[in-house]
Chains A and B, each alone.
Chain A
Amino acid sequence: MRVVVDQDLCGTSGQCVLTLPGTFCQREPDGVAEVCVATVPQALHAAVRLAASQCPVAAIRVIESDAGDDERASADPAPSPEEVERHAARDQRNPGGHDGTV
């Protein structure tokens, strides 16, 4: 599993840092959330999905790995690889601040 924060969307509430302080952190200059791990260990998968679902502005994307992940059908279905890339590349700038995931 990988996890990506859309830093254009991030509302700096810090909720993800409270949920999983070892996985998320906030940038010093502006409080925007960052992911501080390359991959998420199995034990934290459920917590990461929870952090994603709790983010007030839905800025956290969970990218489930393809191989042998039996938790795929849970509450937060993985976005398509194309969608993930769009978010990762941050080229989907939306002046409204939302990406339709209301």
Chain B
Amino acid sequence: MCDAARDRDLLRTLQARLALAVRSASQQVTKMDVQETTAACRDAFAELASPACIHDPYPFMRWLREHDPVHRAASGLFLLSRHADIYWALKATGDAFRGPAPGELARYFPRAATSLSLNLLASTLAMKDPPTHTRLRRLISRDFTMRQIDDLRPGIARIVAARLDGMAPALERGEAVDLHREFALALPMLVFAELFGMPQDDMFGLAAGIGAILEGLSPHASDPQLAAADAASARVKAYFGGLIQRKRTDPRHDIVSMLVGAHDDDADTLSDAELISMLWGMLLGGFATTAATIDHAVLAMLAYPEQRHWLQGDAVGVKAFVEEVLRCDAPAMFSSIPRIAQRDIELGGVVIPKKADVRVLIASGNRDPDAFADPDRFEPARFYGTSPGMSTDGKIMLSFGHGIHFCLGAQLARVQLAESLPRIQARFPTLALAEQPIREPSAFLRTFRALPVRLHAQGS
């Protein structure tokens, strides 16, 4: 059923392209540039789901920044695409923007009454405002302090080495290996299995449903996509229900045991629904995004061999490379949670009315030339020796967000990347693409279905 929706989108896009081509030909226009293809775009979210944008969304994002930076989509959603506007909106979350009030959920999620996924989303940390947000975030923050994450580093390094060892025999036989599945996705899943105190096989089973859930949460998801998401969410919810029971009777040193303990000490501190939603939210936020960034980092290594030296020196160089990968390809391209305007807000000559749902196109802000000079160029030097997430010009890289909802797992993701990339480089210096990687046709999550790699034959 998802395929049917995709086919329909594809057909619509092809029809639009065909109409344009005919018109262009009749006007003897030889160049089909981005401006023409999108001048009639009424809905940026639909355009982001088009095959052209799945292949390369950045020309469209440039057009949006230059011509429609405070875009109003057909659905009424607003989409901000300039760095300065996004940065402001993220910092103003909790103040000028808030999540939907409990009684307003139906207004912003008309399907929430019947959708488990949307209900779970409504209870996650990302949808909460202070003081509830503060209470919940501080419960979980103890496991994500910089010291805690640093303590995970040796364990992460061991998983990285083991996964690379596992890939080596096939690669050395000259075979192609899917780096996305065998490494990029496996690493964050194994790290999470440890953090959550879950058997690895259980984690691999749960992770299979994550893509469907993420697609169902997209603002333009079809009813069948939402139904598929709900089926996957029901499996996740049932699994976590059982896991919570097991941790209650046999607590260990893991995040789930800690949260169950907090819940059992005081249900006002953490309700049942909040506990399940929190675990569900971490599952959604944690893997697919990290895997996508590992994929993009490896692609950057292969595409820009002259930049590989950053991965061969000290930690400062590795950090610069990681931040530049995060900037160039934000895995979550726009914000998935509603930010509701608490008053009329004028931005760039456009009035966003009170109660409007405002989303931010993070991937576009990261490519805004007003924030990052020559933004389409891959240049780790922008982040060399800086505070993580800030460029040498003092601009914030937006992929982890900003403001009260700043990504809880940001440092965990950074450490996984920093422990991976130099080891991939050292272990497989002749790594190359075996064939073109296959993109996931998602408007929201810029990632891959497969990233087939092989080793260059020596001397060829």
- Mutual binders A and B: yes
| Contact surface of A with B, Cβ cutoff 8 Å | 8, 11-15, 17-19, 21, 26, 28-32, 47, 50-51, 53-54, 56-58, 75, 95-98, 100, 102
**Chain B contacts to A: CB under 8 angstroms:** 88, 90-92, 94-96, 129-131, 133-134, 137-139, 141-142, 144-147, 387-390, 394, 396, 401-404, 406-407, 410-411
CA distance A25 to B406 in the complex (A): 18
Are A102 and B389 in contact, with the CB atoms below 8 A? Answer: no
A-B residue pairs in contact (CB < 8 Å), sample of 9: A12-B144, A13-B406, A14-B411, A15-B406, A17-B145, A19-B388, A30-B142, A56-B401, A58-B91
Q: B134, B387, B390: which contacts A97 (Cβ < 8 A)?
A: B134
**Are the CB atoms of A18 and B146 closer together than 8 Å?**
yes
Among A21, A29, A56, A102, point to the contact of B95 (Cβ < 8 A).
Answer: A102
Query: Which of the residues A50, A97, A102 comes within 8 Å of B133, measured between beta carbons?
Result: A97
Q: Flag if B94 contacts A14 (CB, 8 Å).
A: no
Residues of chain B contacted by A57 (CB below 8 angstroms): 91, 403-404, 406
Contact A26 B411 (CB under 8 A): no
Question: Considering residues A13, A26, A47, A102, which has the most beta carbons from chain B within 10 angstroms of its beta carbon?
Answer: A13
Is B394 within 8 A of A56, CB to CB? no
The answer to whether A98 touches B94 (Cβ under 8 A) is yes
Say how far B408's CB is from chain A's closest CB, in angstroms. Answer: 8
Tell me whether A19 and B387 are in contact (CB under 8 A).
yes
Contact A12 B403, beta carbon cutoff 8 Å: no
**Cα-based distance from A102 to B94 in the complex (angstroms):** 10
B396 touches A54 (CB 8 A): yes
Is the Cβ of A50 less than 8 Å from the Cβ of B390? Answer: yes
Contacts of A8 in B (CB 8 A): 134
Nearest opposing residue in chain A for B388, CB measure:
A18
* Further 4 A-B residue pairs, CB within 8 A, beyond A96-B94, A97-B131: A15-B388, A31-B142, A47-B387, A102-B95
| Chain B hits for A50, CB < 8 A | 387, 390, 394
| CA–CA, A18 and B95, complex, Å | 26
Contacts of A75 in B (CB 8 A): 394
From B131, B146, B396, give the contact of A14 (CB < 8 A): B146
Q: How far is the CA of A56 from the CA of B251 in the complex (A)?
A: 34
Asked if A95 contacts B131 (CB within 8 A), the reply is: yes
Task: Return the chain A residue nearest B411 by Cβ.
Answer: A14
Are B129 and A14 in contact, CB atoms less than 8 angstroms apart? no
Instruction: Output the nearest chain A residue to B390 by Cβ-Cβ distance.
Output: A54
In chain B, what residue has the closest Cβ to A30? Answer: B138
B91 contact from A19, A21, A47, A56, Cβ within 8 A:
A56
Q: Are A54 and B387 touching (Cβ within 8 A)?
A: yes
Q: Do residues B411 and A18 form an inter-chain contact, with CB atoms below 8 A?
A: yes
> Does B145 lie within 8 Å of A98, measured CB to CB?
no
- The reply to whether B96 and A14 form a contact with Cβ atoms under 8 Å apart is no
Taking CB atoms, residues of chain B closer than 8 Å to A53 are 394
Contact B146 A97 (CB under 8 A): no
